[in-house]
């Protein structure tokens, strides 16, 4: 049994009718329930409410965040190993059809990048590649782990989906976390947006189950908001996280639902998500899954991220570079960015704002 079985129970649910028929009383009942189910969550994100009611969700979310995470924000940085990709996701700057410089870090340059990031104070790192087994095989990832392991206490991967025994091998060699975005949970829309090996919806959907069976420590799932109906994608992101938390209670689960940003080649999103709705997704997620980690990346602006401290969010990326060689290479040797960053502040600037808000930036909560 995998998440696909749970997914199948809900995939044809009539979201439009449900949302159209939400009454104010339903909203109040859902908000005040101690344990909320997935339809309470849908009610909280989709009911037609005024600003006072939104403030009520925010107040509950604030209290739940403090209760479960204290006044802390964890920090991590991404490190792009390569941008080779054999897929053609229509919304991504690294897609195979984009004529951009392709690069894979050699081990010397990788070490420089790792040292630079470590010197920023960062202990948790997310290593990324495009999706190309040929250009960045598991053997290359293992070589990279061997180089960067001494500098970080936690290493997560965001690479092409692997088999369970491959995750086991990476775990034995130093990773402890997996991040994998389903992008959109709508199977038909997913098929339209993707080509290449990534077109296999089910293989991607079951990736967290395969990593869990290899006993990984943390898993992050999410969707890229703007690719499809946002209520549908946020609902399934929440459902996926809930399934993982129930099925693998020993694994730390987090979610992220970044809003789509401009990239090389230009993609017009299916929908634009305004700040108010985006905030509502985050604060409602905190109420539905009080113990789930919620990430907010540097795709969001500095002021937006600052205002979200205390409102459900538990992890910030910081000092991020989304190009290969972004931390240390000369401009002519760096690649294009995968996507534009809004919050360009340094790690220390972000940490200082967190302190000013009365919170503690957390550089490491885990050591092997």
The contact set with ligand SF4 (CB under 6 A) reads 85, 87, 89, 92, 94-95, 130-131, 198
Instruction: Supply the minimum distance, in Å, between the C-beta of residue 93 and ligand SF4.
Output: 7
d(CA 288, CA 35): 7
Please give the torsion angle defined by the CA atoms of residues 223, 75, 159 and 331, in that order, rounded to the nearest 10 degrees.
Answer: 110
Q: Considering beta carbons, is residue 94 or 327 the nearer one to ligand SF4?
A: 94
CB of 332 to ligand SF4, least distance (A): 22
Which residue's CB is nearer to ligand SF4, number 130 or number 220? 130
- Cβ(241)–Cβ(286) below 8 Å: no
- Whole-number minimum distance, CB 112 to ligand SF4, in Å? 23
Tell the smallest beta-carbon distance from residue 133 to ligand SF4 (Å). Answer: 12
Q: What are phi and psi of 93, to 5 degrees?
A: -70, -20
Q: Closer CB to ligand SF4, residue 89 or residue 238?
A: 89
- Give the contacts of 208 (CB within 8 A, at least 6 positions apart): 3, 178, 180, 219, 221, 240, 244
Q: What's the min distance (Å) between Cβ of 163 and ligand SF4?
A: 18
For ligand SF4, the closer CB: 46 or 227:
227
User: CA 62, CA 67: separation in Å to the nearest integer?
Assistant: 9
Nearer to ligand SF4, 65 or 256 (CB): 256
Q: Which is nearer to ligand SF4, 193 or 282 (CB)?
A: 193
Task: Identify whether the C-beta of residue 82 lies closer than 8 Å to the C-beta of residue 118.
Answer: no
Min separation Cβ 2 and ligand SF4, Å: 21
> Which one, 171 or 180, has the nearer CB to ligand SF4?
180
Q: How many CB atoms lie within 10 A of CB 176?
A: 19
Q: How many angstroms separate the CA atoms of 124 and 220, rounded?
A: 14
User: 164 — phi, psi (to 5°)?
Assistant: -60, -40
**Alpha helices in 149-260, H assignment, sequence order:** 164-172, 187-193, 201-205, 207-213, 230-247
Q: CB 106: neighbour CB atoms within 10 A?
A: 9
Q: How far is the CB of 95 from ligand SF4 (least distance, A)?
A: 4
From the list 124, 139, 129, 189, the residue with the least C-alpha distance to 161 is 129
Six-digit token string for 146: 């061997």
């Amino acid at each position: 049994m995998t998440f696909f079985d749970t997914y199948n129970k809900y995939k044809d649910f009539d979201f439009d009718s449900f949302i159209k028929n939400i009454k104010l009383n339903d909203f109040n009942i859902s908000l005040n329930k101690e344990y909320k189910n997935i339809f309470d969550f849908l009610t909280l994100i989709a009911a037609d409410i005024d600003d006072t009611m939104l403030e009520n969700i925010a107040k509950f979310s604030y209290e739940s965040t403090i209760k479960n995470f204290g006044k802390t924000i964890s920090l991590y940085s991404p490190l792009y190993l390569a941008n080779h990709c054999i897929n053609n996701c229509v919304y991504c700057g690294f897609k195979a059809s984009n004529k951009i410089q392709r690069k894979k870090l050699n081990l010397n340059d990788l070490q420089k990048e790792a040292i630079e990031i470590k010197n920023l104070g960062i202990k948790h790192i997310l290593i990324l590649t495009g999706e190309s087994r040929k250009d960045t095989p598991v053997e290359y990832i293992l070589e990279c782990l061997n180089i960067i392991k001494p500098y970080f206490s936690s290493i997560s991967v965001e690479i092409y989906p692997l088999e369970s025994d491959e995750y086991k091998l990476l775990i034995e060699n130093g990773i402890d976390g997996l991040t994998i975005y389903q992008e959109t949970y709508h199977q038909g829309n997913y098929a339209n947006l993707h080509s290449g090996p990534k077109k296999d919806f089910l293989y991607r959907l079951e990736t967290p189950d395969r990593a869990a069976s290899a006993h990984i420590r943390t898993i992050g799932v999410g969707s890229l908001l703007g690719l499809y109906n946002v209520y549908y994608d946020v609902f399934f992101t929440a459902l996926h996280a809930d399934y993982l938390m129930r099925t693998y209670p020993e694994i730390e689960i987090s979610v992220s639902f970044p809003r789509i940003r401009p990239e090389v080649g230009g993609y017009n999103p299916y929908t634009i998500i305004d700040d108010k709705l985006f905030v509502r997704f985050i604060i409602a997620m905190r109420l539905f899954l009080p113990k789930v980690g919620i990430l907010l990346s540097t795709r969001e602006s500095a002021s937006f991220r600052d205002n979200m401290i205390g409102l459900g969010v538990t992890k910030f990326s910081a000092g991020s570079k989304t190009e290969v060689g972004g931390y240390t290479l000369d401009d002519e040797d760096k690649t294009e960015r995968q996507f534009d960053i809004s919050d360009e502040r340094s790690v220390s600037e972000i940490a200082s704002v967190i302190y000013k808000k009365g919170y503690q930036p957390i550089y490491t909560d885990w050591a092997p």
